Amino acid sequence: MDIIKKFNSKWIQYIVKATSAIYQKKQELLTTHGGKSIYLLVQIVFLEIYLAFLSVPVYLFIESNRLSDDYGVTSDGVHTYRVRRTLTLTGMSLTLLLIAINVIFSTVVPLIFLPAEETPAASNDLTAFSFQRKNWYDGNLFWKSSYSPQKGGIIFSYSKDGENWSVNARAIVKTKSADYSIDADSKTVAIAYRNGKNISVLVANEESRYPGKTFGWTNRRLAYQVTENDETYMQPTISITNANNIWVAATKEVTSGIRIQKITATIPNGKDKVVLSAPKYFKQMKDTSKA
**According to the model, what pLDDT value does residue 193 have?**
92
**According to the model, what pLDDT value does residue 265 have?**
54
Q: Give the pLDDT confidence of 61-97 residue by residue, as tens digits.
A: 777 776 666 666 667 767 777 777 787 788 888 888 9
Q: Is 35 left (phi over 0), alpha (psi -120 to 50) or beta?
A: alpha
Is the sign of the CA dihedral 19, 22, 24, 27 positive or negative? Answer: negative
Domain boundaries along the sequence of the chain: 2-113, 136-290
Q: Is 139 left (phi over 0), alpha (psi -120 to 50) or beta?
A: left
* The CATH classification of domain 136-290, taken from the options 2.120.10.30, 2.60.40.1180, 3.40.50.970, 3.40.630.40: 2.120.10.30
**According to the model, what pLDDT value does residue 6 have?**
66
Between CA 275 and CA 236 the distance in angstroms is 16
**According to the model, what pLDDT value does residue 220 have?**
78
Between CA 166 and CA 49 the distance in angstroms is 47
Low-confidence ranges of the chain (pLDDT < 50): 1, 120-124, 258-261, 270-291
Residue 41 burial class via C-beta count within 10 angstroms: exposed 0-12, middle 13-18, buried 19 and up: middle
Indicate the residue type of 209: R
**According to the model, what pLDDT value does residue 272 have?**
44
**According to the model, what pLDDT value does residue 224 have?**
85
SS (H, E, C) 211-245: CCCCCCCCCCEEEECCCCCCEEEEEEEEEECCCCE
User: pTM for this one?
Assistant: 0.49
Between CA 180 and CA 189 the distance in angstroms is 13
Between CA 81 and CA 59 the distance in angstroms is 9
Between CA 190 and CA 256 the distance in angstroms is 32
